Structure 1
Amino acid sequence: MEINFSDKEISLLKRISAAAETLKVPAYLVGGYVRDKILERPTKDADIVCVGDGIALANEVAKLFSPVPSVNFFKTYGTAHIKVNMGEHGEENFFDVEFVGARKESYRFESRNPKVEPGSLEDDQNRRDFTINALAISLNKNDFGKLIDPFGGVRHLDEKMIKTPLAPDQTFSDDPLRMMRAIRFATQLQFVIEENTLDSIARNAKRIGIITQERITDELNKIILSPKPSIGFDLLYKTGLLQIIFPPMVDLAGAEYKDGHGHKDNFYHTLQVLDNISVKTNDLWLRWAAILHDIAKPATKKFEEGHGWTFHGHEAVGGRMVPKIFAKLKLPQHEKMRLVRKLVELHLRPISLTKENITDSAIRRLLFDSGEDFDGLMMLCEADITSKNKQKVKRYLENFQLVRQRCREVEEKDHVRSWQPPLSGDMIMELFGLSPSKPVGILKDALKDAILDGLIPNTYEAALEFVTAKAREIGVA
């Protein structure tokens, strides 16, 4: 078949071919780069397999560029990497090229780290995870550009299918991370997983236990960053992988009925919210907020006679769950976690502001509590509308537009999002001769509440008068 390479790509591949000819080693362009070129997806990461010394080939290729790029190599694994600029006249157009010698692998049951030894191109293609990643293009002088497709990978690309080259039980038992990768590719490319391959993932799901959490979470984040992440989560759930890697999310699944009252399936509701927000943003952490916004519903679920199912306080309980979930998944514990926690805790607040006669005080509090994350919070709230009733959706979205308008008006007047109190904690301590203590916190909070509630104007004079009176009241002045 015809694969359309740009002039710059052909120039790069010709140089690799020339270097391979100099060293007398057969060389091939393999894997994801070939797949993505056939799918006409943009890619700048090329993998080169040679039947010989990959590090030596990388060094030989580097010599053909000016200036000569540095060669980063890992002797233990026999791999090397160079970053080359194929731009012209000062233009930057970088390609990442990785080199490795062809190899064959054998695995021990308790480890995904294989015993590796030199092999042929056939051996190298046999060890690939999926047929669509086992494609190779010859860079050799006698058949330059020839596509080598031993497992029908091109056909499977055409059929939009994920399938292992060899028996899937062996493929997944050898390296269980491939189960996550199968689901990740199915999600990113919106392909289906071949039936026998999918069944094998379900059979081998428990093998994921030998994979480090960091590797699992890396694949999970790639699924979350896909155009339609629900595809991946649905597959993770149906194969049993999600039950192992992320049990709190599985707890959301299912709807319960009692005395004619039912609640929605919060797992599939969450997936819809995730897809909704993914249409609007590529921000990983806003997508995580969508995943976790209802995470505490199972823990707060109660049936109230005559009323039905309730989930009172699930936003506060969910906020407290976020740090533990992030720690378990080895996600960052810094400001990204705090952002997700904040959005989970606040996600019901804008809904309450859609009612009539909402005070400026309530608006100021939302703006103050959300701060610079107000727009992300509103995006989450709008994504949270998953009703199939189009009129209901329209009404909710219009209400949220009214909330945005009210917030804009109050923000223009009071500048709450970047608000700082007229008296800091240090100033309060100096005024009343206090050291860091509980009374300082009481005075700070009282001042903040008084200003946000509109009891006093946001000025130094009013703040000083208020704090002095409050200090007398609590006996520190």
Structure 2
Amino acid sequence: MNHQEALENPIFKIVSAAADELGVTAYVIGGYVRDYLLQRGIPKDIDIVAIGSGIELAKAVADKLKGKPQVSIFKNFGTAMLKHEGIELEFVGARKESYQRNSRKPIVENGTLQDDQDRRDFTINALALSLNASDFGKLLDPFNGVADLQEQIIRTPLEPGITYSDDPLRMMRAIRFATQLNFTIELKSLQAITSHKERIKIISKERIVDELNKIMASPKPSKGFALLNKTELLSYILPELTALQGIEEKEGQRHKDNFWHTLEVVDNISKETDNLWLRWAALLHDIGKAPTKKFHKKIGWTFHGHEFVGSKMVYKLFKRLRMPLNDKMKYVQKMVLMSSRPQILSEDFVTDSAVRRLVFEAGDHVDDLMTLCEADITTKNSKKQKKYKNNFKLVRQKIKEVEERDHIRNFQPPVSGEEIMDTFNLKPSREIGLIKDAIKEAILEGEIPNEYEAAKNFMLQKGKALGLTTKN
């Protein structure tokens, strides 16, 4: 089969000419070919494999390109990279790899194209298109990768135990591809992942998180997390999630399975937002339920304070997985901490002051918080579902009205600490904090409007009540 239309970009003709001049056989391999055959849109990164030196081929290609782009050479890996018109080309010599038990970094030797395709993770990533003029666009498919694409199967080129044991990151990649492409992992492969699950321990946390983020960014992340759970990899990576699994019954009282509920919430939110960190918040919103679960004879199962406990767990989890401990982590913490707040509002008659407090505490993230709470509705009872959704609509409406009237989001007190000090001739002291808090409370409770004059008069009254005198 010839697929010259996959190689319409002029860059391929340039690589072809450079390869022929060097007397090197060259192929485009991997994700570019897979995505072209799946009609998934053309990826911006292209892997070129050369039978011979990939570095020399990269230099020869750069010489033929306008502006002669810089070639980045990674001697240790025998690879070279160059960027041209928004495309990233990576060149590598065909290699044969052998692995040691304690590392996913292979010992590399020069090899044939067959060796190079053997070392690929999956049959669908071992497809290659020839770039030499003599057979330009010819497809090489030694492992029936095209059939696997058609049947939507993830399969390894070699015996799966070898592929996964050599580089255990491939176990995560198998699950990630199955999730992204909505493919099935072949049974032998799935069993091999379960058998080699402990090998995940040698993989760096950063690489694991990179794959988790790709699963999380998929249209239906639950597929990936269900597979991670089935293969028992999840207990090594996110034990906080596996701890949520199961339904306990005491005296005829049961609670829902919070693990499967969580996966539903993640899928729900993924229909509404591409915000990766909001999706993480959905995944972690109930992790505090495992440590706070209690049974009481009169009221049944409770999870008191699970939001607070869960938000503390977020920090430990991010730290353990070497995820960013910056504003992204704080955002996820805040979402987890506040995840039940709109729910409580939606169940009662909503007062303006309760809405003001919600907006004050959630700040810019109040819309995200509402999206999370709406995704949290997983009841199968259509009557209940309708009721909850309508209640949340009312809360959103109320937020809009209160916002337009009171401007509480990212609230700054109308009277500053400096003005309080100046008015009562005070040095920094406890009284300043008391007056500032009293003004904030009065505004949130709706006793005074969020305006300077009203806040100033309230400050004078409060100062008087504290026995303070004004300057004049």
Same fold (TM > 0.5):
yes
Query: Aligned AA for 2:415?
Result: L
Does the C-alpha gap of structure 1 residues 424 and 145 become closer, same or farther in structure 2, counting only changes over 3 Å? same
- Name the residue aligned to 1:68: 68
Q: Judge conservation of contact 2:3–2:129 (CA < 8 Å) in 1.
A: no
1:325 aligns with 2:324: no
Q: Given that residues 4 and 37 in structure 1 are in contact (C-alpha distance below 8 angstroms), is that contact kept between their aligned partners in structure 2? A: no
Which residue does 1:78 correspond to in 2? 78
Hey, what does 2:102 align to over in structure 1? 110
CA distance in 2, matches of 1:282, 1:470: 47
Measured after TM superposition, the shift of residue 445 of structure 1 is 2.5
Aligned partner letter, 2:228: L
Q: Aligned letter for 1:46?
A: I
- Distance in structure 2 (CA, Å) of the matches to 1:143 and 1:16: 14
Contact 2:314/2:332 (8 A) holds in 1: yes
Aligned to 1:80, the other structure's residue is in SS state: strand
In the aligned structure 1, how far is the partner of 2:147 from the partner of 2:214?
25
- Quote how far apart the aligned CAs of 1:466 are: 3.2
Match of 1:29 in 2: 28
The SS at the match of 2:149 is helix
Cα shift at 1:454: 1.1
Which residue, 87, 97, 116 being the options, matches 2:89?
97
Question: Which 5+ residue runs of structure 1 have no aligned equivalent?
Answer: 86-93
Letter in 2 for 1:263: H
Deviations 1:185-219 (A, max 9, x none): 11101111111110111111111111111111111
Summarize the Cα distance change of 1:471–1:136 in structure 2 as closer, same or farther, 3 Å threshold: same
State how far apart, in whole Å, the 2-side matches of 1:433 and 1:178 are.
68
8 Å contact from structure 2 (residues 244, 259) kept in 1: yes
1:93-130 deviations in Å (ceiling 9; x for gaps): x2211111111111111111111111111111111111
Percent identical residues = 57
Does the CA contact (< 8 Å) of 2:3 and 2:138 recur in 1? no
Out of 212, 222, 237, which is 1:220 matched to?
212
Deviation by residue 1:421-464 (Cα, 9 ceiling, x = unmatched): 11234444555566666554443333211211112232333323
- Stretches of structure 2 that go unaligned for 5 or more consecutive residues are none
Q: Counterparts of 2:271 and 2:252 in 1: how far apart (Å)?
A: 35
**Secondary structure class of the residue paired with 1:353:** helix
Distance 1:295 1:117, change over 3 A: same
Q: How does 1:37-52 map to 2 (within 5 A)?
A: 37-42=36-41, 43-52=43-52
Rounded Cα–Cα distance in structure 2 between residues aligned with 1:45 and 1:346 = 40
Is the 8 Å Cα contact of residues 278 and 332 (structure 2) preserved in structure 1? yes
Report the counterpart of residue 244 of structure 1 in structure 2.
236
SS in 1 for 2:77: coil
CA contact (8 A) 2:79 2:93 kept: yes
Is the Cα–Cα contact under 8 Å of residues 122 and 156 in structure 2 kept in the other structure? yes
**Cα distance in 2 between the residues matched to 1:52 and 1:123:** 13
Q: Which residue of 2 aligns with 1:454?
A: 446
Counterpart secondary structure, 1:63: helix
The one-letter code matched in structure 2 to 1:319 is: S
Cα distance in structure 1, aligned partners of 2:68 and 2:118: 34
The separation in 2 between residues aligned to 1:239 and 1:432, in whole angstroms, is 67
Task: Provide the residue aligned with 2:118 in structure 1.
Answer: 126
Separation in structure 1 between the aligned mates of residue 422 and residue 116 of structure 2, nearest angstrom: 72
Between the aligned partners of 1:127 and 1:452, the Cα distance in structure 2 is 63
Q: Distance in 2 between matches of 1:241 and 1:382?
A: 30
**CA distance in structure 1 between the partners assigned to 2:166 and 2:460 by the alignment:** 71
Letter in 1 for 2:65: F
Do structure 1's residue 282 and structure 2's residue 281 form an aligned pair?
no
Shift of 1:359: 1.4
Whether 2:254 is the aligned partner of 1:255: answer no
Contact between 1:3 and 1:37, CA under 8 Å: does it hold in 2? no
Deviations 1:397-443 (A, max 9, x none): 11111111111111111111142111234444555566666554443
Indicate the residue corresponding to 2:127 in structure 1: 135
Decide which of 143, 152, 155 is 1:163's aligned counterpart.
155
Letter in 2 for 1:259: E
Q: How far apart, CA to CA, are the structure 2 residues paired with 1:434 and 1:117?
A: 77
- Tell me how far 1:349 sits from its aligned partner: 1.3
Match of 2:11 in 1: 12
Residues of 2 paired with 1:104 and 1:182: CA distance? 21
Aligned to 1:58: 58
Q: Is the 8 A contact 2:97 2:107 kept in 1?
A: yes
Residue type of the alignment partner of 1:55: I
Shift of 1:375: 1.2
* 1:77, distance to aligned residue in structure 2 (A): 1.5
Relative to structure 1, is the Cα distance of residues 356 and 301 closer, same or farther in structure 2, using a 3 angstrom cutoff?
closer
Against the structure 1 CA distance between its residues 467 and 113, is the aligned structure 2 distance closer, same or farther, given a 3 Å change threshold?
A: same
- 1:266-281 matches, within 5 Å, as 266-281=258-273
Pairs within 5 Å for 1:167-316 = 167-316=159-308
User: Is this contact kept in 1: 2:6–2:137, CA < 8 A?
Assistant: no
Residue 91 of structure 1 is matched in structure 2 by none
Residue matched to 1:90: none
Matched, 1:337 2:329: yes
What amino acid sits opposite 2:150 in the alignment?
Answer: D
Q: Is the 8 A contact 2:26 2:130 kept in 1?
A: yes
**Cα distance in 2, alignment partners of residues 53 and 435 from structure 1:** 74
What is the CA distance between 1:257 and its match in structure 2? 0.9
> Following the alignment from structure 2 to structure 1, what is the Cα–Cα distance between the partners of residues 72 and 142?
31
Matches of 2:5 and 2:416 in 1, distance apart?
Answer: 62
> What is the root-mean-square deviation in Å for CA atoms of aligned residues?
1.8
1:221-247 deviation digits (Å, cap 9, x = unpaired): 111111110010001111111100111
